[in-house]
A and B are shown apart, each in its own frame.
Chain A
Amino acid sequence: MSLARSLRGAAVNVGIALTALRTNLMRSILTALGVMIGVLAVVLAVAVGSGAQVSVESTIAQLGSNMALVIPMPDTKNGGRTRDIGKLTERDARAIQRSVPGVTAIAPQLRSTIQLSIPGRRVSTGGLAVTEGYAQITNTEVDSGRLIAGADVQAAARVIVLGQTVAGKLFGDLDPVGQTVRVNRVPFRIIGLLSARGSSLGTDNDDVALVPFSTGRQRFTLSTAGADDLSILFVGFDPAVELGRAKQDLVRLLRARYNVGKGDVQPFTVRTTEEFQAQSATVTGVFQAVLVAIASISLLVGGIGIMNIMLVSVTERTREIGLRMALGARRRDIRNQFLVEAAVLCMIGGLLGLILAIIAARVFEKVADFPAPVSLGVAVGSILFSAIVGLLFGGYPAVRAGRLSPIEALRSE
């Protein structure tokens, strides 16, 4: 009938439900506990899943917004067999800067594990030999000192910029800028300390040290074959450039330079930030879906508990049902009464589960150093979802209650 009347009916039913739940307080608490655990598990799963997403996204954002990576290796879709033919050189980098439209900067890199030592201490870390373009493309900043400059690259200066983790291991809380550290036994002057970049999915982005590109060329032990081979090339694009198109331009240029024919294996791979984002969205999406699916099982068990207890409740209150029918309750009034009771029970459980999940997520963030955000949408959604669980699992007992014959129900003891 009218909306006012429906709302009135709902309010009455909530009142009846609360009285009934209070009457069997212990039983109600235990049943709500099942739903609480289910909602706790689901909300935590969603939180950890979106935490993974946030973590991966921030890593990608650190790469720079509009950028492509060129990696010297054959396209894996043709099999990894011919890894040794992977090739990318400084001349390729210069050609890209010259002839691909929209390129704002390039940052060729050499990568090698290096040994850093000061008297009494020794650590190994990931050494990156970079040009002055690196900072610009990757949004890298320093807490103190400065980054690798063009002059350092030209002079093949023995200078180094340390990441937070490396600096901490060698110097503790002291500012390392101005100190000397031996890189593979050769003394380098420390010119900068990188700002913290955090960790993503277990990889410490601060366990790193930067040296000038030319210095790295001289001092790094490189696995690549040629004298001007690169480990990796970052190509920065103007924000207005469409990355899909830019990638096509890059690939076309490099294929021409290496005479790669149709169907041949490319000696390089090009990945754009856009592709990383899409890829990680897929991976974290699957990760989250699996987590939520597993957590949902506990909610299912909670729901079965609801159905069980509602069946008991209907049986116990058969006489009340008969009385209400004699007083004029229609089948649907009785059905709705029990539906609301199940929904209220589930929502109480859901609310408790949500509160616990928010607390657990905060603890998890502290202990595991991994983001686990519980968004407002998830909070509201979990309460609504609990109500739906109540309606779903309370549905059968409620329909059964509504189908009782008033005479039989009145006669029951």
Chain B
Amino acid sequence: MTSEAPLLETRAVEKEYAVGGETVHAVAGVSLTIARGEFVAIMGASGSGKSTFMNLIGALDTPTRGQLLLDGTDLASLTSDELAAIRNRKIGFVFQQFNLLARTSALDNVATPLIYAGLSAAERRARAARQLGAMGLGDRVDHTPAKLSGGQQQRVAIARALVTEPLMLLADEPTGALDTATSEEIMRLFGQLNDQGITVVLVTHEPDIAQYAARRILFRDGHVIEDAPVTDRRRAA
């Protein structure tokens, strides 16, 4: 039943902020659907509302108005603990600055979300090791972030995002801190993961990067102004 429902559905979602006595409509009524297995790029300039929208679909924030259904559950109605559980189980975050814990091994970094899933230490380590192996980092499990290249760090972060087997990977400018070659390598990795059936939502302002996605959603002033398939798509080699 839930598998029939779209992965994500927003219905007239709005988010307002009070900034210095003025109300800012960061997201001003967005209705869209993302199906399972899609590879979506959310684009827009700074201040377009794409980051706020990402926070909403990432269960980091709740909408002021409207409905936001993730896997059939309306996030607007959840408590902060329930939102934490959604973030833990259903969403895998990938950040621009990797956000790995310093002085902590790749293995422990990848295992961190499993702490909050309540798994035993042995289970955490086993699953984290497996995930790192799948990312081609099986020989780097004991390395701290300082001993890894930028690309390796981002792959550790992707392993961390995938280790809870989420419904959706949510990547916020994942190549923003990487050089061109490494960026392409990471984007090809996202493409491969998507080919394996993992839903990927990519937030970026770089058109080159967005070309790896299959669908492009363009934000401006809190509205979606374009939502179309990517015609000149770059595929994993």
Contact = CB atoms under 8 A, between A and B. Distances in A.
A331 to B, nearest CB: 6
B103 A329 contact: no
Interface in B83-99: 84-85, 87-89, 93, 95, 99
Given A5-B118, A8-B121, A407-B60, A327 B104 contact: no
A155 interface: no
B80 A330 contact: yes
A329 B84 CA distance: 6
Interface residues of A, number: 25
B104 A333 contact: no
B80 A328 contact: no
Interface in A10-47: 11-12, 19, 22-23
A327 B116 contact: yes
Interface in B132-186: 160, 164
A324 interface: yes
B81 A331 contact: yes
Given A407-B61, A410-B60, A330 B121 contact: no
Interface string A318-358: 01100111111111110000000000000000000000000
A328 B89 contact: yes
Nearest to A325: B84
Contacts, number: 67
A1 interface: yes
Interface residues of B, number: 28
B164 A328 contact: yes
A127 interface: no
A192 interface: no
A330 B60 contact: no
Interface in A391-407: 406-407
B35 to A, nearest CB: 24
Contact of A328 (B55, B101, B117, B121): B117
Contacts of A12: 115, 121
A325 B120 contact: no
Given A19-B103, A19-B104, A410-B60, A330 B81 contact: yes
Contacts of B58: 326
A172 B181 CA distance: 95
A8 B81 contact: no
A407 B102 CA distance: 20
A231 B135 CA distance: 96
Contacts of B101: 320, 323
Given A8-B118, A8-B121, A328-B88, A407 B55 contact: yes
| Top 5 A-B residue pairs of the complex, sorted by shortest distance between their CB atoms | A328-B88, A328-B116, A327-B113, A330-B84, A323-B99
